Structure formats: structure tokens, C-alpha cells
Chain A
Amino acid sequence: MRNVGILGVGQTDFVTKRTDVTYPELVREGAQLAFDDAGLSMTDIEAVVVPLAPDALIGIGNGERWLIESIGATGKPVMRVNNGGATGASAVEAAWMHVASGLFDVVLVAGADRVSESLSAQSVLNKMWDVAYERPYPQNTITMLAMSAMRYNHMYGADERDMARVTVKNRRHASLNPHAHLRELVTEDDVLNSRILAWPLKLGDVCPSSTGGAALILVSEEYASRLKKPVAWIRGLGQNTETFWMGDRVGPQALGDHADADALAVAFDRAYAQAGITDPTSQIDVAEIYAPFSSVEFHVIEAAGLCGRGEAPALLAGGAFHLGAEGVVVNPSGGTQCTNPIAVTGTVRVIEAATQVLGRAGDRQVAGAKVAIASAIGGDHQFYSTFVIANHLDPIGHP
């Protein structure tokens, strides 16, 4: 496999609604930003991967067909990737395989989302549960993660105030990120007093439905060596899958627990092994991890090996994971909790990780960042994608 670098990235500012552009025009905005950043144009692109989540979320049947002209992809190989919430990261993994395999030297990942155009998002998401056994119940992504949060809090003694601290941190970070959707500062009490959706999740714990576009351009090491441009290198990546059945993730015979993200931990281990990371707490500077709700951030931090099981809430309360703190900074962009354009949320995680290691993150920059991780989650906590991204190709050392 060849080394693969991220040569250019682009993301629009994310908002609730965009009434001035169509879906393809939004994809084009993100792609154009990535072209400008890379110093390339569409004529340089050899193949395209389009991240696009379930059709019904944006009400467009096979939207990958509609956007082809907007990014000049006619006459080039194009594939769509859909892995639920992990879509935007899985698309980058597919593009990585295009380049690492030697088939292509320059590959574009470009997509967009406008979830707020749906008035039925949770009804759409309900349709991913089993037809006979579970869909007759009002199962959706909010209830699914509410049950995970209940179980995590029960097992590790965390509570709603611990969850509120995640929101407070992420909103502070998002206030420093011009692309973020929810940028207003909030207090713990604001979160605790917000209306209950599905206990213990309140409005202050959950992500918005975001509209915007994102894109990045992957290149081979050989191609990058001909350019005089800094490149963020994909040093490791992993994928893993959890059982479909949430009820199989509890009880004494379960292999993984719905309170934790055990399959994600394996995906991180795979990426770490490839990148040569043996001690995540000392070798990683930044984590841009997919956590749409406050509660999710705890078990993702733990699955990434940034602390032990059940330790994340107390560490956060003690000041860890915040911008400016010692150790790994978690979601300096404000993360998925402040910006969730579903199809490209995972792409934005990779873009933010690359931006950090290239030292171009502006007010949200983690000082001296060299190594970052990114991750995404799709399905009912079922599909996991992970990345290690660094600003060099040397062995990843210890500080």
C-alpha cells in the first residue's frame, strides 16, 4: 500500500437552512473550497467518492446522480458510499483505498447535507430497525442513544451534569470555529434546564440538523512529492462493525456492551497498529471524534484509549480534553454535537484533524499539534471508521 496524503480540504459554514442553493450547488461549494485549498481543479481529479446517507433524509432519490455535473465528474469513475452516520468517514476510507492501491493518484471526496429539509428525520431513522421485532416501537437514534446513556451512567456512576459539561466544552470550542453551526456559549444549568427529549437526553445534549458541504482531496505520496505544499498524512485507518441487535449488547453473554463502544475500540486499535501508536494518551495531540450527543463523547474517548472505561466524566470535570488543557484535546472544532450535516459529518472530522496537524485551525488550533485522530459512527452504533492523521511520515514518537 502507498502512503496517502490529504492535499486540500474545504467546508462551508454550517447553518440550519440554505435557501439560496440546491443540493448539487452546495456540494459544489465544498468541492470548490477544496480545489482552491489544494491548488487543483476538477481536471486534475481522477476519481470521485460521494458520501451520501439514506435518501429519505434529504428527500432526494440517489442524489449522487444529481450532483455529477456540479463537480465536473462526468467521464470519471464515481462511487457513492452510505454507512449511516459513518458515511462521511467511510467515503474517505474508500478514497484512501483508491489511492493506496495504486489505482489513482488524485481522488476527490465531495458531499453535502441538508437534513433540515426533512420534517420527518426521526421517522426516517426509525426505518433502520428490524421490520418485525423493533420497528413497531418508536425506536430512533434519540431513543437508541438515550438507552446507551442510561446504561453508561448506571455502570459508571455518571449523571446528567457530567453530560452537560460535554456540551459546555463543545459549545466553547464551536464558538472559536467559524464553520460550526451552534456557536453560542451555554452553561451547565442551561443544558440541565432544557426540555427533555428522551431521558436522560435533553435538547442541550443533542446535535442540530446542519446544512452545508464538505470536500477533501487525497493524493499519493508520489504525486505530493512533486508539489511544494504541506500535506496531512493518513497514517492509519480502521473500520469495524457491531451486531445489528441492540438487545444482544447487554447481559452476561454479550460480547460488547451498548453502554460502551467496544467495536469502535477495535477499529481504533486497527488504525493505531497501522500508524505505530502504542500509547494514545501520549502520542496523540487532538481527537476529532464523532459524538452527536453529549453522552456519546464519554465512551468514544474511552474507546480511543484516551483514558480507562468510565473515567472520562471525572477527567472532563477536572478540566481535561478542553482547548488549552494538558493532554489530548477532544473536538476542538465543537464536534458533531455542534455541527451535524449527516452525510459529511465524518468527512468534517477528517478535515478538522488534517487542519489541526497542519497548524491551520485558527482560534481553535491545538498548539503544536502533530498527530490527530478522527472517527465516525453509523447505524445503531454499528459501523465505525477511525483515522490517525499526522503532519509527517516519520515514526510517530513519544513526546
Chain B
Amino acid sequence: MTSASETAPARFYEQTWDLSYRHALGATVGVFLDGLRDAKLLGRQCPKCSRVLVPPRSYCDRCFVETGDWQEVANEGVIEMMTIVYEPFKGLPAPPYAIAYVLLDGASTALLGYVHGIDLTDVKSATEQLAIGKRVNVHFSPQPKGDVTDYWFELSDNEPT
């Protein structure tokens, strides 16, 4: 004997969560975003451990003190982590795209960004070009939108030293 629950057709209720938020970003982020308009990447230095935090944060998580001086870091650095995405995810940009964490010269921590200017058709070739340790330059949008995608990375012409 089969129960009603075994023979009933599956029924569904479909719903989309349409959630809107307007996040205040805070003063420290504001200074960093303003810097992008002037083609500058700004970090903040911890007065105790001297680390230059990029992206800048208003406090040092190790020393638990407020960070102090703003420091401009170089518009070039080295790839520390990267991946190339080939799978589409709902609500996220269409693939393929490359993203990387880059340790900019003068910074103590690595900054996330897109890597442009690479043919991503062949994954092996693309990942070799973007290998950990490769140097990249920072490029800035001529029409800044006021968010962190106003900068991106491209491979540097200079070979790693």
C-alpha cells in the first residue's frame, strides 16, 4: 500500500527575494575611492607594527590600534593569488574573467582586482602568464564610477627581478 505522500505530485512555491540595501562605506573607504580618481592607491600604516594596509582599514587587527598615516603605494606589484573563472554564476558577471590578489610595492597586504589584457581562451597559457610571482601594473578607469572596479591589473612589461 502506498501512502498519499508517495503518490502526490511534487508541488513548489517559487519566490524571489528582492532585497535592496544602501551600505554606508565609511570615511576610510571614501579616502581610498577618492584616490582612485587621481590614479593613486592609498594604504594606511599601523603606528605600532608599521604594516601598510592595502586596502586601507582604520585599525590594525594585530595591534588593535587605529592606523595612522596614509601612504601611497606603487602602481605595480606581484601576483600572490589568482584564478580564471569559466563558469557562469547567477547574479555575478559573465565569464571568463581573471581575478588576482596583488601585493603592491610598498604594501604589506594584497589587493583584489580584475586582471585584464590576457587572452583567456586557453586556460593553460593564461594561467602560465598570470602565475604567482608575475609582476603587474595598475590601470585606472578614465571614467571612474566611484567603486573599486575603477582600477584593474595588467601584466607588466618588466620581467620579475
Complex CA gap A119/B86 in Å reads 18
A150 with B83, Cβ < 8 A, contacts A133-B112, A247-B112, A251-B109 known: yes
Contact A147 B87 (CB under 8 A): no
Q: Taking beta carbons and an 8 Å cutoff, which residues of B are in contact with A?
A: 5-6, 10-12, 15, 17, 23, 25-26, 29, 32-33, 51, 54-55, 61-62, 80-87, 89-93, 97, 99, 101, 103, 108-114, 123, 127, 131-133, 147-149
Give the dominant DSSP class at A's interface.
loop
Contact A246 B81 (CB under 8 A): yes
Contact residue among A131, A136, A140, A243 (Cβ-Cβ distance under 8 Å from B89)? A140
Contact A123 B112 (CB under 8 A): no
Q: How far is the CB of B161 from chain A (nearest CB, A)?
A: 15
Q: Taking beta carbons and an 8 Å cutoff, which residues of A are in contact with B?
A: 19-20, 56, 59, 119-120, 122-123, 126, 130-134, 136-140, 142-143, 146-148, 150-151, 154, 195-201, 243, 245-248, 250-251, 253-255, 258
Contacts of A201 in B (CB 8 A): 83
Complex CA gap A201/B29 in Å reads 32
A247 with B101, Cβ < 8 A, contacts A56-B17, A126-B91 known: yes
A-B contact pairs, 13 of them (CB 8 A): A126-B91, A132-B32, A132-B33, A133-B29, A137-B148, A138-B93, A142-B87, A143-B83, A147-B83, A150-B132, A154-B133, A199-B85, A245-B109
Give the dominant DSSP class at B's interface.
loop
Contacts of A142 in B (CB 8 A): 85, 87, 89
Q: How far is the CB of A70 from chain B (nearest CB, A)?
A: 16
A126-B92, A195-B87 given; name 18 further pairs at CB < 8 Å: A122-B90, A132-B148, A133-B32, A136-B148, A138-B89, A138-B97, A142-B85, A146-B85, A150-B81, A197-B85, A199-B84, A199-B123, A247-B55, A247-B101, A248-B110, A251-B103, A251-B110, A255-B62
Contact residue among A59, A140, A250 (Cβ-Cβ distance under 8 Å from B110)? A250
Contact residue among B5, B61, B81, B85 (Cβ-Cβ distance under 8 Å from A250)? B81
Q: How far is the CB of B28 from chain A (nearest CB, A)?
A: 9
